[in-house]
Amino acid sequence: MKDISCKLLVIGAGPGGYVCAIRAGQMGVDTVIVEARKPGGTCLTIGCIPSKALIHASDEFDAARHMASGGGHLGISVADPKIDLARTVEWKDRIVGRLTTGVSGLLKKAGVKILQGRARFRDGRTVIVATETGDQLIHAENIVIATGSEPVELPRVPFGGKVISSTEALSLSSVPETLAVVGAGYIGLELGTAFAKLGSKVTIIEAAERILPLYDADLTKPVAKRIAELGIELLTGAKVDSLDAKGEQLLVTANDGETRTILADRILVTVGRRPVTEGWGREELVLDMDGRFIRIDDQCRTSMRGIYAIGDVTGEPMLAHRAMAQGEMVAEIIGGEKRSWDKRGIPAVCFTDPEVVSVGMSPDEARRAGLDIKIGQFPFSANGRAMTMDAEAGFVRVAARADNHLVVGIQAVGSGISEMAAAFGLAIEMGARLEDIAGTIHAHPTQGEGFQEAALKGLGHALHI
């Protein structure tokens, strides 16, 4: 094949990579993007999007089952509902197909050359791509590494057979009668809760003493309560030892030191993700590392001139929207603009039941940073819209500096609260003070009023509590 020369080569077409390539193409930068699979990466094809589709289907089915049992205080009754998971997965796959096709179209519209294959560095300016028709040599002035991450495997409980990762869980053709979930982080809880609503008997095993250990206990209490209501068995402070000799049962050391045997049709391992730093020729480069991750500066530059890295391969938080923001910034830097990276306003969302959102610092983080803070918190049990949605669990919390009322962190837990993440992020990004949020007229009746009320509470004069 004839060699290709370009100003920008992006390795990986996940959220960070494809956004970087699209923005660069829009700016007239000669851009090539390489991806071994379909564009969209983990998030679009086997992660964020398909999991939210499954969660939505499970919510609908759970609501239908509730109605079939009499509907409770809502007074709605329906016939006995059933779930055909294979059809649900087909629907999910159609959504993924539409989105991947859309990404391809956007790349082409921006004038980006798409190359399907596996990229491998030959040196800091040259990459060899193994395609179906042979090796393609690419010379690039700038290269962006956007290789993403992959599920962590437990050495004594390797993937295979009944042991699955989130990828396989999102493509099951039937609901497992019993499901063991290893890990009570956001992936484990999202999928564990979804399958419990679909009818699985779910057991969740977590090594820490509580679920979602990266979030403070107040935020996770409503989630833990809902888990119990769904009949999910939760083992915290427990250690997964191994599979039994036949590979059918999971052996777990409980927090009391006793060994428990858990028999499950499927064992879903969700103990985290690791950056993909091997398999693309990193050994041919001289990149400074930060533990498992590629070290970058505030412009996503690596230790080698002309080589950038974005997304999960660069560290926490390993979130698609972080990668997108980094990709857009790098494209604009290469296009000649002045940009730098600030991660203070990145929202983190758990699509559990209820959902959890956090932007900026938690109260404890703010105190550890030496800040004297005011806290305003408003419960959804006092919010009219939440009442009419039969979703009173949770609250909105705002933390602000005591001296000038600058908002440094916003957290919330509640039904559908993920849709407030943009408002929370905007407040942090724009440097809002409690007075700014309190003085903004929020539509009634909406859950967003809880945000205003939390700010009013921080100022000492909440109106509805």
Same domain, 229 and 267: yes
Query: Which pLDDT score is estimated for 246?
Result: 81
Mean pLDDT for 132-149 is: 97
- Higher-scoring residue by pLDDT: 76, 304: 304
- Token readout for 173 is 């053709």
Same domain, 292 and 143: yes
Same domain, 253 and 187: yes
Share of the chain above pLDDT 90, in %: 91
Residue 343 lies inside a defined structural domain of this protein? no
Side-chain half-sphere exposure of 432, counting CA atoms within 13 A: 23
Q: Which of 225, 251, 271 is the last residue of a domain?
A: 271
Query: Which pLDDT score is estimated for 245?
Result: 81
Residue 81 lies inside a defined structural domain of this protein? no
Residue 11: what are its φ and ψ, rounded to 5°?
A: -100, 105
Same domain, 359 and 383: yes
Helix (H, G, I), strand (E, B) or coil at 128: strand
pLDDT of residue 249 exceeding 70: yes
Query: Which pLDDT score is estimated for 77?
Result: 79
Same domain, 187 and 219: yes
Terminal Cα distance for the chain, rounded? 71
Per-residue pLDDT tens over the stretch 10-43: 999 999 999 999 999 999 999 999 999 999 999 9
Residue 464 lies inside a defined structural domain of this protein? no
Residue 74 lies inside a defined structural domain of this protein? no
Per-residue pLDDT tens over the stretch 35-73: 999 999 999 999 999 999 999 999 999 999 888 776 667
Tell me the pairing of strands 233-236 and 126-131: unpaired
305: how many CB neighbours lie within 10 A of its CB?
Answer: 9
Same domain, 254 and 279: no
Same domain, 178 and 227: yes
- Could you tell me which of 13, 20, 16, 19 has the C-alpha nearest to residue 34? 13
Per-residue pLDDT tens over the stretch 412-424: 999 999 999 999 9
Q: Work out the pLDDT band at 106, boundaries 50, 70, 90.
A: very high
Is residue 108 within 8 Å of residue 22, measured between CB atoms?
no
Query: Which pLDDT score is estimated for 72?
Result: 67
Same domain, 251 and 394: no
This prediction has a pTM of 0.94
Residue 383 lies inside a defined structural domain of this protein? yes
- Could you tell me which of 361, 386, 385 has the C-alpha nearest to residue 375? 361
Share of the chain above pLDDT 70, in %: 99
pLDDT of residue 402 exceeding 90: yes
Q: Mean pLDDT over all residues of the chain?
A: 95
Q: Which residues are paired to 259 by β-bridges?
A: 253
Mean pLDDT for 174-193 is: 97
Active site residue 444: yes
Same domain, 139 and 13: yes
Same domain, 138 and 24: yes
Rounded to the nearest angstrom, the gap between the alpha carbon of residue 278 and the centroid of all alpha carbons in its chain is 23
Mean pLDDT for 347-357 is: 97
Left (φ > 0), alpha (ψ -120 to 50) or beta: where does 421 sit?
alpha
Q: Cα separation of 285 and 122, whole Å?
A: 9
pLDDT of residue 139 exceeding 80: yes
Same domain, 359 and 441: yes
CATH number at residue 454: 3.30.390.30
Q: How many residues does the chain have?
A: 465
Residue 167 identity (one-letter amino acid): T
Residue 75 lies inside a defined structural domain of this protein? no
- Could you tell me which of 148, 184, 151, 183 has the C-alpha nearest to residue 165? 151
Same domain, 361 and 298: no
Spot the catalytic one: 56, 405, 442, 444: 444
Residue 169 lies inside a defined structural domain of this protein? yes
pLDDT of residue 153 exceeding 70: yes
Instruction: Identify the domain containing residue 443 by its residue range.
Output: 354-459
Question: What is the number of structural domains in the chain?
Answer: 3
pLDDT of residue 199 exceeding 80: yes
CATH number at residue 301: 3.50.50.60
DSSP-assigned states of every residue in 347-395: -EEE-SSSEEEEEE--HHHHHHTT--EEEEEEEGGG-HHHHHTT----E
Query: Which pLDDT score is estimated for 99?
Result: 96
Mean pLDDT for 153-166 is: 94
Per-residue pLDDT tens over the stretch 283-293: 999 999 999 99
Residue 69 lies inside a defined structural domain of this protein? no
